[in-house]
Amino acid sequence: MASFEDLKRKAKGAVETIADVSVEAYRLAEEKAKILAKTTKLNAEISREKTQIRRLYCEIGRMYYELCKDNPEENFVQNFTEVAGAYERIAEMKKEVEALKKTSGFQHDDFADADFNAEPGDDESQGDA
Radius of gyration of the chain (CA): 34
Rounded CA-CA distance 68/71 in Å is 5
Q: Please state, for a pLDDT cut of 70, what percent of the chain lies above it.
A: 80
| pLDDT tens digits, 64-93 | 999 999 999 999 999 999 999 999 999 999
Q: Please state, for a pLDDT cut of 90, what percent of the chain lies above it.
A: 56
Residue 128 CA: distances (Å) to CA of 123, 124, 125: 10, 7, 6
**Domain edges within the chain:** 11-68, 76-111
Using pLDDT thresholds of 50, 70 and 90, give the confidence band for residue 117. Answer: low
Query: Which residues are within 8 A (CB) of 74 and not within 5 positions of it... i.e. 6 or more apart?
Result: none
State pTM to two decimals: 0.53
